[in-house]
Structure 1
């Protein structure tokens, strides 16, 4: 396996002076291509903060993140936005679908932003919606879909540009157990089919157990707990 991402001495703090809060205190983490990792820890431990740094949604206070050897935070804001759109897929607890657009249109959106021809974007989005079991719901808007279906649309959207890295932040946090199990299985199937590197922040022990390894975030530091 080849190394996809390498984080070194990654730190993040908020505020200044006496009000300064250190959230991450020197994180070292390697992600190999095609592997799966669960990131666990207590609420407020900084799991989402770390995920946002790995996905370049936020800038660190110190340290580096290298993606295929390239220091991503040396990029300009425009270059960083293009990198995120092409190389990283995001799935959040709240799906953030656009309510006025259909499932197909929501999934197409990143491709259109990346200037993929509309016909190709429709083809890509349709195929992914079929992959997540929603090939019959292309024209339905989010308000016409169940919570589990909306999250499946969000997963398809995250994959439409064939990212190398998929970051999922509590992807089943708002779902009941049965629906959660379906989304867990779907993530596993899609990870294998697309050869994704997958990192999941979760409190769900069953989802964490299904990942190739688990790392625990405590006091701003990571501890490998299983592999």
Structure 2
């Protein structure tokens, strides 16, 4: 595997003077192409902040983030936004679907924002909705979908532009156990089919156990970085049930 993302000496703080809060305190992390990683730790450990910086939604106070060997925070805001839309997909705890649009239109949105014609965006959006098991819900609006269905629409939307990296921040944190399992299986299928690099922030031990690596943050620092042990492949990145 080749290195996709590298974080070096990452610090992030908010505020100034006595009100200054240091959230990340010198984080180093390498992510290989095709890996699946769970970021775990107590609330306030810095997991979501790290994920947001990895996804260029926030800039670090200091340190370096390399994507494909390129130092991405050297880009200005507009080129950075273009890079983010093209190269990184996001799934959050709350789906952030647009309520006035159908499932199909919501999935098409990243392409439309990028200037694509509706006719060009529609077919790949249909294919992705079928891939996440929602071919029969194309014309339904978010309010007509269950929580799990809404989250699967959000996953399809995140994949529309074929990003190299998928970042998920507590993707099942707002769902019940059964629905969480459905979303887990959807992410597993996506990884099997596409080999996409996947980094997930989660408190869900079951989901974390399915990832190829588990990275634990404590008080803004990485305390442990461990591969999932497999009897036949000691550092296997294959999710349960895969061949």
Cα deviation, residue 195, structure 1: 1.5
Cα deviation, residue 184, structure 1: 0.5
Kindly indicate whether residue 211 of structure 2 is the aligned counterpart of residue 223 of structure 1: no
- Aligned-partner SS, 1:186: helix
- 1:68-106 C-alpha deviation (Å, 9 max, x unpaired): 011000001110000000000000000000000000000
What is aligned with 2:17?
17
What is aligned with 1:204?
204
Q: How does 1:153-192 map to 2 (within 5 A)?
A: 153-192=153-192
What is aligned with 1:65?
65
Moved more, 111-120 or 195-204: 111-120
In structure 1, distance between residues paired with 2:178 and 2:114: 35
What is aligned with 2:45?
45
TM-score where L is the length of structure 1: 0.99
What is aligned with 2:118?
118
In structure 1, distance between residues paired with 2:188 and 2:208: 11
Q: Per chain length, whose mean CA-contact separation is higher, i.e. which structure has more relative contact order (CA < 8 Å, sep 6+)?
A: 1
In structure 2, distance between residues paired with 1:179 and 1:16: 42
- Aligned-partner SS, 1:214: strand
- 1:151-188 C-alpha deviation (Å, 9 max, x unpaired): 00000000000000000000000100011011001101
In structure 2, distance between residues paired with 1:223 and 1:199: 17
TM-score where L is the length of structure 2: 0.92
Kindly indicate whether residue 214 of structure 2 is the aligned counterpart of residue 214 of structure 1: yes
Cα deviation, residue 224, structure 1: 2.9
- Aligned-partner SS, 2:136: coil
Distance 1:110 1:36, change over 3 A: same
- Aligned-partner SS, 2:78: helix
**Would the aligned equivalents of 2:41 and 2:218 in 1 still touch at CA under 8 Å?**
yes
What is aligned with 1:78?
78
What is aligned with 1:109?
109
In structure 2, distance between residues paired with 1:224 and 1:166: 22
Stretches of structure 1 that go unaligned for 5 or more consecutive residues are none
Cα deviation, residue 226, structure 1: 2.2
Cα deviation, residue 225, structure 1: 4.1
What RMSD in Å do the two structures reach over aligned CA positions? 0.7
